[in-house]
């Protein structure tokens, strides 16, 4: 069974990256201010948003708390591909 077929749901790490960036931008937060709220270094937020690093459940909870959302909001599927492209083009 291939994991890279078009019908395969987006990987959790990519969903987190898209949702983190979208929620951060919606709240008018820079990566630096987001990092301060979650008690991370700014480069760590950048790495999450670029899918460069994995994230632990504990760190995911810290980000959700900083954004005042549930962990499930960070794992949610994007509503459409247009939204995904828009998030990647911003910032």
pTM of the model: 0.75
Token pair in block for residue 71: 């962990």
Helix, strand and coil in the chain, % to nearest 5: 60, 0, 40
* Rounded Cα gap, residues 50 and 45, in angstroms: 9
Tell me which of 1-5, 14-18, 28-32, 56-60 is least confident.
1-5
Tell me which of 5-9, 24-28, 53-57 is least confident.
5-9
Q: Residue 41's closest CA among 23, 59, 67?
A: 59
- pLDDT tens track for 15-50: 999 999 999 999 999 999 999 999 999 999 999 999
């Amino acid at each position: 069974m291939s994991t890279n077929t078009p019908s395969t749901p987006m990987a959790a790490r990519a969903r987190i990256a898209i949702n983190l960036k979208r929620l951060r931008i919606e709240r008018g937060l820079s990566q630096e201010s987001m990092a301060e709220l979650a008690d991370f270094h700014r480069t760590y937020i950048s790495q999450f948003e670029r899918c460069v690093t994995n994230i632990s459940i504990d760190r995911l909870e810290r980000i959700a708390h900083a954004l005042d959302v549930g962990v499930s909001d960070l794992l949610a599927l994007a509503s459409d591909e247009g939204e995904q492209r828009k998030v990647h083009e911003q910032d």
